[in-house]
Every structure is written in C-alpha cells, then in structure tokens.
Amino acid sequence: TQLLEQSPQFLSIQEGENLTVYCNSSSVFSSLQWYRQEPGEGPVLLVTVVTGGEVKKLKRLTFQFGDARKDSSLHITAAQPGDTGLYLCAGAGTSYDKVIFGPGTSLSVIP
C-alpha cells in the first residue's frame, strides 16, 4: 500500500521568513503533485514533478522531486500571509493508478 507522509504537520511563521515542507514515501511515484487548499474549498494544483531530481520554480515557491522519485519538498521564500493554507502532496505509482494524498501541512503566515 502506497503511503505519503508530510512534515511538519503544522507550521506558524512570521511574514518574510522562509520555510520548507517535506513529502516522503517508501514507494516510487511516477509523478508527485503539490496542492494548496483553503478552508471550505477544493485543493488547487500548484505543480506536478515527474522526473527524478527535477526542480521547478513558481515565483517564491521551489519544488524538488527526489532522485529516487520517493520524496519531494516545497520551499517558500519570504512567506506572505496569502501563502496561508493547507499544503498537500499527492502521487500515483503509474499513470493509471489512483492518486493518493498526504495528510497535509497546515501553514499559517502571521503578518
């Protein structure tokens, strides 16, 4: 059974600080996705990484896929209050597998 773990579970930081969120598994994934979810809404896709070692940047967000395709990280530079939300990683073993989600990291950025 594939499982995704995320750490930390909760994170509360001051505006302007940097942070990293981790997503780990003992299984290999064909792709990993990161989503952000706000209360009462569905998750919104931020990025998909498919190649081991891949790094993608989205403004102040940097995503990395581990070389072995078992883990990923999300780094936010100079966090802003608008970054507040639940960050979820998700992945599938193959292109036809179900997509499973990690438990999420709840981020609060204090002005």
Partner 1 sequence: KAGVTQTPRYLIKTRGQQVTLSCSPISGHRSVSWYQQTPGQGLQFLFEYFSETQRNKGNFPGRFSGRQFSNSRSEMNVSTLELGDSALYLCASSLTNYGYTFGSGTRLTVV
State the residues that interact with partner 1 by CB under 8 A: 31, 33, 35, 40-45, 48, 50, 88, 90, 92, 95-104
Q: At its nearest, how many Å lie between partner 1 and the CB of residue 16?
A: 29
Q: At its nearest, how many Å lie between partner 1 and the CB of residue 76?
A: 20
> In terms of CB distance, is 25 or 33 closer to partner 1?
33
Q: Is the distance from CB of 42 to CB of 36 less than 8 angstroms? A: no
Q: At its nearest, how many Å lie between partner 1 and the CB of residue 91?
A: 9
> In terms of CB distance, is 18 or 40 closer to partner 1?
40
What is the rounded CA–CA span in Å between residue 23 and residue 13? 19
> In terms of CB distance, is 22 or 101 closer to partner 1?
101
> Distance of CA 104 to CAs 5, 51, 58, Å?
8, 22, 20
Q: At its nearest, how many Å lie between partner 1 and the CB of residue 15?
A: 26
Summarize the chain as % helix, strand, coil (round to 5). Answer: 5, 50, 45
> In terms of CB distance, is 39 or 111 closer to partner 1?
39
Degrees (nearest 5) of the Cα angle 106, 48, 63?
60
